Amino acid sequence: MCRHKFTLFLTAITLASVPGLLNAQEPSLGKDLTATIVLHGMPCDKVVEAKRNSDSDYTASCHDGNRYHVYVDASGHVVVKKL
């Protein structure tokens, strides 16, 4: 896996796991999720809504209407699945 993709996703996970920081840094989380999705070769012009499902697990909605499940699997790989 590309080290850059993993770093971007870990940044998003870190921001979401700190209480109160998600609201203050929400634009950054959206940018990190957008970059993660695009780096996986999927279309997303901009993440406009992100729901944290659990640790390392998000549902992201893009401005262009695409929706994705972004998570880290048991082997530590970042996975992006179109919903």
29: containing domain: 3-82
Question: Taking the model in full, what pTM does it have?
Answer: 0.69
Q: Report pLDDT digits (tens) over 3-59.
A: 555 555 655 555 454 444 344 445 688 899 999 999 999 999 999 999 999 988 999
Is pLDDT larger for residue 14 or for residue 75? 75
The confidence band for 62, taking pLDDT boundaries of 50, 70 and 90, is: very high
* pLDDT (average), residues 65-77: 93
Amino acid present at 45:
D
Find out whether 59 and 51 touch, Cβ atoms under 8 Å.
yes
Please answer whether residues 82 and 68 qualify as being in contact, where contact means their C-beta atoms are separated by less than 8 angstroms.
yes
pLDDT computed for residue 14 by the predictor = 52
> Structural domain tally of the chain?
1
